[in-house]
Amino acid sequence: MSLRHRWSVALGSLCCWAILCTIHAQETTQGPSLFAKEARLKDKNALTRTGARRTAVVAAIERVKGAVVNIHSERLAPGGGTDLFPLPAAPRKPMNGMGTGIIIDPRGYIVTNQHVVDDVTALRIRLADGTSQNAVVVARHPELDLAIIKIEPRAALPVMPIGTASDLMIGETVIAIGNAYGYEHTVSAGVVSAIKRDVSLNDAMAYKSLIQTDASINPGNSGGPLVNINGELVGVNVAIRAGAQGIGFAIPVDHMVQSVAAMLKARRRSSTYDGLVCRDILQKSSDGLVRKVIVDRIDASSPAESAGLNTGDVILQVGTVKVDSGIDVERGLLDCRNGDSVAFVVRRGDKEKRVKLALASGDRQVRPASVSDIVWQKIGLQLSPVGGDLVTRINRQLHGGLEVTNINPGGVAARAGIRKGDILVGLHSWETVNVDNVNYVLNHPDLPTFNPVPFFIVRSGQIRQGKLAMLPN
C-alpha cells in the first residue's frame, strides 16, 4: 500500500469519526424528542407503504387462492408390446406428474385439463390449507381438453368466481396461479397478449380461440386459473409455446362453462330429468359484461313445463345455489333424485317468481332398440367400422375395428380415457369388428365377473389398453 493510499484511508476514518461526533452532539443537544419524532414518522411511512403495496393484484389473489388446488398424479410408463392380447410382462414403472385444478363446487368438484388426468393410475389433490386427498375422474371432454375430478372434503370448499373472456382487452392485466414445476400455488402476472389464437400441438391435438398471455405459465400450471384484476376466472391455462418466453395459452372461461355444464348434466341424465334447456348470456353493466342464465327451451309435458317455467325466464337460484352460470344450475340439481322437488327462483320481466320443479326419472322415455343406441346408452360411444388394412398393418392378429365417431363427455368410455378418433379393436377377450361384437360383450351374462372390462384401442399407430368401469343396471 502506498503512503498516499494509506493516508486516504485514514482520512476516511477521521471523517467518519467526525460525523459520529456530530450526531452524538445533536443527540445531547436535542434530547430524546428528535428520535421520538423520527420513530413516529417511520411508523406513518410504514403504514403508507403497506397500503400502497396492497394492490389490486394482491386483492385478486386473496379472493381466489383458496379455490385453486395442486394436482399430483401417477401413471405407468408406456409399455413396449404391441400384441392385442399380450403375455404377462414385467411391471411398468410409475411416472409422477403434476397439474392444477379449479374448485367449481363446495362438495369437491374440480375442473382441470384432460391431459393432466389422462391415463393416470392415482390422483392426489393438495388444497390451499395444506391438506391432501385422493381424487377420482368423473367426466372428461377430450376435444376441449377439460375434465372434472372429485374429492370428498371434510368441509365446504371455496369456489372460484366465474367471469367472462368475451370482453378481454389486449394489454389487460391477468394473473396465473398454479403448481408450476411442483412449486405449489405459484403466482405470476402479465397481460393479455392476444385473443382468439388457434394453436396446434400435433396432428391429434389442436385448440381453437385461445387466450394468449405473457404471464409465466410452466409445466404444472395446466388446468389452473387465469384470472382478471377483479379475481374472476377468465381462462383455464392449457399450453405454452416450447422454446419461447412469455407465450402461454388459456381456454376461454366461456368455453369451459359450456363444457362443464354439459358434462355435469350428462352425469345425472340417467337418473333425473327436468326438461329444461338453459343458456348463458352476457349483459352489459357499469363494470363490464355480467353473466346470466336464461331458460332457452322447455320440453313439452316435462317437469319444467308442469312447474310453470317459461322460455326467457332468468334463473336466479336453483335449490340453495345462487345461479351465475350454467354450471350453477347443474350444481343445484347434482345430488337430487327422481321425485325430488327443487325450488327455482326466476325473474320474469321485472318480477321474481318462485316455483317447485319435481324431477322425473331419467329413463322416462322409451329405451332405444337399436344396437348402436344401446352402446351409446351403456358406454357413451358412437362407432363406425373401419377397413381391416388400417389395423392389420399395426398388428397382424387384428381383422378390423370400430372408429370412435362421437363420445359422450360424461359416459363410461370418456371416463376411461377413450377419445374421438380412436379405433376400438377389442373388449375383454373378443375382437370388435362390428357394433354387434360390442353389444355381445356389454350384455354378456358373465359381465360382472370381468368388470371393469379391458379394452384395446389403436391411437397414433400404437395399441393402447385400459378398462371400462361398467355401471350396474
Residues classed as catalytic: 115, 145, 222
> In Å, what is the CA distance from 69 to each residue of 24, 109, 129?
57, 11, 10
CA–CA dist 128, 149 (Å, integer)? 17
3-state secondary structure of 461: coil
C-alpha cell at 246: 412469455
CA–CA dist 111, 67 (Å, integer)? 11
Q: In degrees, to the nearest 5, what angle opens at C-alpha 341 toward C-alphas 295 and 292?
A: 25
CB 289 within 8 A of CB 166: yes
CA–CA dist 462, 391 (Å, integer)? 10
CA–CA dist 430, 4 (Å, integer)? 97
Comparing CA positions, the residue from 383, 470, 380, 378 lying closest to residue 433 is 383
Residue appearing with cell numbers 351409446: 376
- Per-residue burial over 292-331, b if 16 or more Cβ lie within 10 Å, else e, is bbebeebeeebbbeebebeeebbbbbbbebebbbbbbbbb
CA–CA dist 225, 237 (Å, integer)? 6
Strands 94-105 and 430-431: unpaired
CB 84 within 8 A of CB 426: yes
> In Å, what is the CA distance from 214 to each residue of 103, 170, 316?
24, 11, 36
Comparing CA positions, the residue from 50, 48, 46 lying closest to residue 58 is 50
> In Å, what is the CA distance from 59 to each residue of 62, 100, 340, 441?
5, 21, 40, 55
Comparing CA positions, the residue from 348, 218, 353, 344 lying closest to residue 276 is 344
In DSSP terms, 313 is beta-bridged to: none
> In Å, what is the CA distance from 406 to each residue of 8, 47, 117, 205, 379?
85, 60, 20, 16, 11
